[in-house]
Amino acid sequence: MNVETKLVKASLHSITPLIPAGSDLAKALAFYTEHMGFSVIWQGGNMAGIKRDDISFNLVKNGNREWIENTSFSIGVSDLEALYQEYRHIPAKVGALETKSWGRREFHIIAHGVAFQFYQREAA
């Protein structure tokens, strides 16, 4: 008796990258919640989960400078101008809002060594 097995493919729904928080998780959580508008959704030990809208990250207490300085994220947003106005005076290195040579309008933030690139997401 030959029974065929139908393979069911799993679908991927989200990604939650790890962000090195440096040696002080509480300080990192304060920055992301007070200045970048994230909420803490869980916390335990040397880690915490944060979320804003559809974006989530896991912060990890880790002072490895090589990891920190090589971590970057590109995040599409619905209203780039509004987000730039919200973030332009936070205590981090905030780059200019500009159209890049490849045609995309974006700005960058370097927060505690981690790079965030925000760009205008095209309407679906």
Q: 52 lies in a domain?
A: yes
Dist CA 101 CA 72 (whole Å)? 20
Residue pLDDT tens, the chain, 124 long: 566 678 889 999 999 999 999 999 999 999 999 999 999 999 999 999 999 999 999 999 998 999 999 999 999 999 999 999 999 999 999 999 999 999 999 999 999 999 999 999 876 5
- Whether residue 51 lies inside any domain: the answer is yes
CA distance 4 to 75: 43
| Number of independent structural domains in the chain | 1
Give the domain CATH number at 105. 3.10.180.10
Q: Which two tokens stand for residue 57?
A: 């990250």
Look at residue 41 and tell me if it is in a domain: yes
Residue 11 lies in a domain: no
Residue 113 lies in a domain: yes
In a domain, 3, yes or no: no
- Within-domain flag for 55: yes
**Structural domain of 53:** 18-120
